[in-house]
Amino acid sequence: MDKTFRIAPSILSANFAKLGQEIEDVIKSGTDIVHFDVMDNHYVPNLTIGPLVCDAIRDISKNVGALIDVHLMVKPVDRIIPDFAKAGANIITFHPEASEHIDRSLSLVREQGCKSGLVFNPATPLSYLDYVMDKVDMILLMSVNPGFGGQKFIPSTLDKLKQARARIDAYYEKTGRQIWLEVDGGVNAQNIADIAKAGADTFVAGSAVFGAGKDTDPNRYNTVVKSLRDALATV
Ligand code: DX5
Ligand code: ZN
């Protein structure tokens, strides 16, 4: 099994007036994935960005070798999935509570040529996975309630990560297919090692990364990304 750790900066905390430059700089600092938070002021109490912005950043993300990981916090999901696929999304995840037909929505994501994933809020049970493991490429555990960057990591996520890891490992034993385990919310250099030990392999970090960008130096994210990588190296 591949043991790579991936860091996915959430552009929610980036400087939107310079989004392309932010993405280029943060990926060149040693991160892997552009985490793209889509909020609709309905499923979550905030409003962010849509397919138009995804399309605008697709070339720059591709040029620096980063995947675009679209985290849909919208309800319903099916209408908008093809739009994000066309706009260059590589991975599309959604919340089971936001879909009337989870199996169908997962299939739709794959039919559109993207990797598919389910997102679990802090109180959402992992049993939603029971009959759809074959249709999932990524499991995303929220370690905050969705809607805003800059919140505090909820510690019970560590136990839940262990349970998700056990499901993924058992599935890998049976099928040889690897499912990524991503965590989202309140991740920083102080807690990332414990989060990795609990089983996560993909780490969203918004405020912890972009909060370090105080000037226009293209290397401004190097220090914070190195601190995340150094912590991961202890695992
Ligand atoms: C919250 C979003 C997260 C958020 C993470 O609803 O899904 O991706 O931007 O931000 P931090 O790392 O600041 O908690
Ligand atoms: Zn997110």
Give CA–CA dist 83/90, Å, rounded. Answer: 12
194-215 pLDDT, tens per residue?
999 999 999 999 999 999 877 7
Mean pLDDT value across residues 15-40: 98
208 CA distance to ligand 2 centroid (A)? Answer: 14
55-65 pLDDT, tens per residue?
999 999 999 99
On the question of pLDDT at 24 being above 90, the answer is yes
Mutate to test the pocket of ligand 1, among 7, 119, 151 (most ligand atoms within 8 A of CB): 151
Topology (CATH level 3) of domain 6-232 = TIM Barrel (3.20.20)
Mean pLDDT value across residues 16-24: 97
Note the ligand closest to the C-alpha atom of 39.
1
Q: Point out the ligand 1 atom lying closest to the alpha carbon of residue 188.
A: 12
Sequence spans of domains, the chain: 6-232
Give CA–CA dist 40/18, Å, rounded. Answer: 23
Q: Is 144 in the pocket of ligand 1 (CB under 6 A)?
A: yes
Mean pLDDT value across residues 97-114: 98
Q: What was the pLDDT predicted at 55?
A: 98
205 CA distance to ligand 1 centroid (A)? Answer: 7
Residue nearest to atom 4 of ligand 1 (CA): 149
Model-level pTM? 0.98
Q: What was the pLDDT predicted at 3?
A: 81
Question: Which residue numbers are catalytic?
Answer: 37, 184
On the question of pLDDT at 232 being above 90, the answer is yes
**How many other C-beta atoms are found inside a 10 Å radius of the C-beta of residue 187?**
27
On the question of pLDDT at 216 being above 90, the answer is no
Q: Point out the ligand 1 atom lying closest to the alpha carbon of residue 35.
A: 8
Q: What was the pLDDT predicted at 224?
A: 97
On the question of pLDDT at 82 being above 80, the answer is yes
Q: Is 204 in the pocket of ligand 1 (CB under 6 A)?
A: yes
| Contacts of 59 by beta carbon, 8 Å cutoff, 6+ apart | none
| Encoded tokens for 229 | 């990588």
| Contacts of 166 by beta carbon, 8 Å cutoff, 6+ apart | 199
216 CA distance to ligand 2 centroid (A)? Answer: 25
Q: What was the pLDDT predicted at 71?
A: 99
Give CA–CA dist 142/1, Å, rounded. Answer: 24
Q: Is 205 in the pocket of ligand 1 (CB under 6 A)?
A: yes
On the question of pLDDT at 166 being above 90, the answer is yes
Consecutive H or E run containing 153? none
149 CA distance to ligand 1 centroid (A)? Answer: 4
Q: What was the pLDDT predicted at 86?
A: 98
